[in-house]
Amino acid sequence: MPSPYRALFAAPGSKGFSAAGFLGRMPLSMMGIGVVTMISQLTGRYGLAGALSATMALAAAVMGPQVSRMVDRHGQRRVLRPVTLFALAAAVGLLLAARFEWPDWVLFLCAAGIGCVPSIGAMIRSRWAALYGGTPQLHTAYSFESVVDEICFIFGPIFSIGLSTVWFPEAGPLLAACFLAVGVFWLTSQRATEPVPHPREHHTGGSALRAAGLQVLVATFVATGAIFGAVDVVTVAFAEEQGHKGAASVVLALYAAGSCAAGAVFGLLHFNGAPERRWLLGICAMAVSMIPLLLVGNLPFLAVALFVAGLSIAPTMITAMSLIEQHVPRAKLTEGMTWVSTGLAVGVALGSSVAGWVIDAAGAKAGYGVPAVSGAVAVAVGFLGYRRLSRPVPQREGTHEHHSEREERHVA
């Protein structure tokens, strides 16, 4: 491991919460595709499978920021454990409803309950912020977490689809639920690195989304999420048209691998310029990287194009997390990070839906116009909101609490 990453884990407890976060994040890439695989195998109804997956995504988009807001106010342990138990109960209900052919409304009710699953990535990043806030190590920490995200998205769908097809239909979602339970309860047992809650600060100022800079980031990442959702759907359809549908998972894995590699390298670099400029450059790079997809004629060319396109993802996301840390009060940091994930989730749902309509109407190759247009929208929103991001931020409440929090914990 390169030295900056080795130094990152010199902090007591950092290895433990990072490992727990890895397990707790695996369901993010496993549950949706696992439910689609399970339902399609048990019922043969792909429309129902897609609708259930969309229900989970939209429920997570609605409930995720609210859960994170409670975490900022009451602490990770007090909130994550009961919320996770509720989500696990909903997951068990979904598996039983699918197996015993219960009415569809039960499936949708349980799918919405699964959407209450907490944003583990935001929880881990808030722990890194409590450890390294205001230091260069925080950039390295955010880079490492982006790499972990991409690793989850490379291997999670493979595990989920493989188990559900080779073993039994419910195996993929069941393993995702096990990862969630182990990850969350292991994470919340580590009290020494848990950020101190801010109940009094949360009574003032309202939601973290009132921050002008966060509004720009969320709006831009709705368009960015549409890129991701459209690319996934169109790539599967394109591979099927080429007669190699199974190769779609490999091609999409290369998309994630490009982001993973770029994130690992990005964490080794240190920048002195304004982060909002790097972020806007990343958004532009993501948009430009969609143009070659309009020219694809075969799967090998598509694989190369997607790997190159993936190189701009992790650096952009890492910089976005740094901007959130600048624009959102420390007392609402977890909620702020979750709002970006919510924007991405909404965008994924929109992008996949529009791409599916375009594919049905004009074919898979035309479907790559959806991520291209989404990229252009992201650039437009980024430029329009750039002044909000570059505007000097007033002294944030809780800014000086990074080091005193741990002292308060020991005194308590």
Residue-wise pLDDT tens digits, 277-321: 888 999 999 999 999 998 888 888 999 999 999 999 988 988 888
Give me the domains of the chain, ranges plus CATH numbers.
15-195 (1.20.1250.20), 208-393 (1.20.1250.20)
In 177-324, at which residue ranges do the beta strands (DSSP E only) sit?
none
Short-list 105, 75, 386, 24, CA closest to 219 = 386
Q: Lowest mean pLDDT: which of 103-112, 257-266, 329-338?
A: 329-338
Q: Report the predicted TM-score, pTM, of the whole model to 2 decimal places.
A: 0.75
Is the pLDDT score of 407 beyond 50?
A: no
When pLDDT is averaged across residues 248-261 and rounded to a whole number, the result is 83
How far apart are the C-alpha atoms of 243 and 239, rounded to whole Å?
A: 6
**Residue 209 vs residue 169, higher pLDDT:** 169
Banded model confidence at residue 265, pLDDT cuts 50, 70, 90: confident
Q: What percent of the chain has pLDDT over 90?
A: 21
Q: What is the pLDDT of residue 373?
A: 94
Short-list 73, 77, 81, 76, CA closest to 197 = 73
From the DSSP assignment, how many helices (H) and strands (E) are in the chain? 18, 0
Short-list 325, 341, 323, CA closest to 333 = 325
Strand, helix or coil for residue 363: coil
Residue-wise pLDDT tens digits, 12-49: 888 898 999 999 988 887 887 788 778 877 877 766 77
Q: What is the pLDDT of residue 110?
A: 93
Residue-wise pLDDT tens digits, 46-61: 667 767 877 888 888 7
